[in-house]
């Protein structure tokens, strides 16, 4: 098999937080998937000034000496590189949509979901409506804009409709706390979701992998939920540092925050079936990842979709795939084969 030239698409033109988050994830991925006999990696790094750079690594030193380029210059450079496929690792909404669409225009295949699917998944209310229409249980909720007043009685979860990583998320237990929670959520998006709180219960994530054109439901990862201390997962549970920190590190880089659910647990098959429904309803390809809240009766409720995979051993899809006997190198090659139509 010839060596594949793979372009890692990293950074963000949106803000420093997503730029640093993307760089952090991509750095781990580059290290975990390095195999010079199979892959020749290139890096495209986009910064909040919309400049492109093609550094030799993602170290601050190599980024600093890389020549900044305009979009036109970057396109000219990319089209001269004989790239086989792209691995998008941008976490902001423009990165998940506009930048992926650029490679559709350039007719360079990329791993992961298409821009329209990513746009849908990044709007939590739209995603909920689509999976609900496919028969998946979702919490009752309402979409608010500035000035709107919630009608749902607490306890309720407040979250920005288009932010990721639990930014701006709050659990409101008293109606008097609505104003502060809404103000916090509106800092991250122009639309906010208020939805009924699904009492714990449990919280799990289920990944779907496409292999040889078939959907493979991966083992569930479960997260610690404490009714009093941590009734919901917040930003502070996922990240150790301030969103503006240049060396942002996720908690997952230091330990596995969740654990694999026993395959004989009665919720596993039920959640996996719901996750497959979500994957198909949203029009996903290659892989997908879904969060579910399990109520005290054992019923799964869809919370949100996270349609990306970092291809790092501690990322959720890779971690759960490994538990199913699919090591990272095989997971990566499976995604490549699906992308290039080699399965």
Residue 90: CATH number of its domain: 3.40.50.20
Residues with Cβ within 8 Å of residue 279, at least 6 apart in sequence: 208, 215, 288, 290
Instruction: Mark which of 155, 176, 196 sits at the end of a domain.
Output: 196
Say how far apart CA 341 and CA 330 lie, in whole Å: 16
Instruction: Mark which of 158, 180, 196 sits at the end of a domain.
Output: 196
Say how far apart CA 138 and CA 132 lie, in whole Å: 6
Q: Note the pLDDT of residue 258.
A: 82
The residues that bridge with 150 in the sheet, in sequence order, are none
Q: Are 90 and 12 in contact (CB under 8 A)?
A: yes
Q: Note the pLDDT of residue 255.
A: 41
**Ramachandran bin of 252, using left for φ above 0, alpha for ψ from -120 to 50, beta for the remaining angles:** alpha
HSE (side-chain half, CA atoms, 13 Å) at 309: 32
The answer to whether residues 189 and 254 belong to one domain is no
The answer to whether residues 185 and 268 belong to one domain is no
The answer to whether residues 336 and 245 belong to one domain is yes
Task: Examine residue 132 and state whether it is found in any structural domain, yes or no.
Answer: no
Residues with Cβ within 8 Å of residue 13, at least 6 apart in sequence: 46, 47, 48, 49, 50, 92, 94, 95
Task: Please report the DSSP string for 228-243 in residue order.
Answer: TTBSS--HHHHBSS-T
Q: Which helix (H) or strand (E) holds 115?
A: helix 115-121
The answer to whether residues 101 and 209 belong to one domain is no
The answer to whether residues 155 and 263 belong to one domain is no
Which residue's structure tokens are 């996996």? 272
Q: Are 154 and 175 in contact (CB under 8 A)?
A: yes
Instruction: Mark which of 149, 170, 196 sits at the end of a domain.
Output: 196
The answer to whether residues 155 and 256 belong to one domain is no
The answer to whether residues 317 and 221 belong to one domain is yes
Q: Note the pLDDT of residue 200.
A: 76
Q: Note the pLDDT of residue 199.
A: 86
Q: Which domain holds residue 175?
A: 140-196
DSSP summary character for residue 17: H
Task: Examine residue 129 and state whether it is found in any structural domain, yes or no.
Answer: no
The answer to whether residues 204 and 336 belong to one domain is yes
Q: Which residues of 64-87 are buried (b: 16+ CB within 10 A; e: fewer)?
A: eebeebeeeebeeebeeeebbbbb
For the chain of 343 residues, list the mean pLDDT of each consecutive stretch of 10. Answer: 94 94 95 97 97 97 98 98 97 94 98 97 96 98 96 96 82 95 95 93 95 97 77 53 48 58 96 98 98 95 93 92 97 97 68
Say how far apart CA 323 and CA 87 lie, in whole Å: 23
* Count of structural domains within the chain: 3
Q: Which helix (H) or strand (E) holds 192?
A: strand 191-196
The answer to whether residues 236 and 263 belong to one domain is yes
Q: Note the pLDDT of residue 335.
A: 97
The answer to whether residues 206 and 333 belong to one domain is yes
Q: Kindly give the pairing relationship between strand 85-88 and strand 4-11.
A: parallel
Q: Note the pLDDT of residue 251.
A: 43
Task: Examine residue 144 and state whether it is found in any structural domain, yes or no.
Answer: yes
Residues with Cβ within 8 Å of residue 321, at least 6 apart in sequence: 207, 209, 218, 327, 328, 331
Say how far apart CA 13 and CA 109 lie, in whole Å: 22
Question: In this structure, what CATH number is given to the domain that contains residue 166?
Answer: 3.30.1490.20
């Amino acid at each position: 098999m010839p060596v594949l030239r793979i372009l890692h698409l990293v950074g963000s033109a949106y803000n420093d937080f997503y730029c640093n988050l993307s760089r952090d994830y991509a750095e781990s991925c580059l290290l975990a998937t390095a195999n010079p006999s199979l892959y020749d990696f290139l890096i495209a790094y986009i910064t909040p000034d919309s400049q492109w750079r093609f550094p030799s690594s993602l170290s601050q030193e190599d980024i600093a000496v890389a020549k900044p380029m305009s979009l036109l210059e970057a396109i000219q450079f990319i089209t001269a590189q004989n790239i086989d496929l792209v691995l998008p690792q941008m976490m902001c909404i423009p990165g998940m949509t506009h930048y992926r669409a650029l490679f559709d225009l350039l007719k360079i295949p990329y791993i992961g979901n298409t821009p329209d699917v990513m746009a849908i998944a990044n709007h939590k209310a739209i995603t909920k409506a689509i999976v609900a229409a496919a028969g998946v249980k979702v919490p009752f909720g309402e979409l608010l804009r500035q000035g709107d007043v919630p009608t749902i009685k607490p306890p309720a979860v407040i979250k920005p409709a288009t932010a990721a990583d639990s930014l701006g998320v709050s659990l409101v237990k008293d109606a008097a706390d609505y104003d502060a929670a809404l103000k916090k959520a509106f800092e991250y998006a122009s639309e906010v979701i208020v939805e009924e709180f699904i009492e714990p219960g449990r919280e799990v994530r289920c990944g779907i992998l496409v292999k040889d054109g078939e959907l493979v439901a991966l083992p569930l990862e479960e997260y610690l939920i404490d009714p009093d201390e941590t009734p919901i997962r917040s930003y502070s549970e996922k990240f150790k540092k301030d969103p503006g920190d240049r060396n942002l590190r996720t908690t997952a880089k230091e330990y596995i925050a969740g654990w694999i659910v026993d395959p004989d647990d009665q919720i596993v098959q039920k959640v996996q079936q719901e996750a497959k429904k979500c994957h198909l309803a949203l029009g996903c390809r290659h892989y997908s990842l879904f969060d579910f809240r399990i109520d005290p009766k054992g019923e799964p409720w869809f919370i949100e979709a996270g349609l990306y995979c970092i291809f790092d051993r501690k990322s959720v899809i890779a971690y759960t795939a490994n538990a199913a006997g699919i090591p990272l190198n095989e997971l990566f090659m499976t995604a490549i084969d699906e992308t290039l139509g080699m399965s």
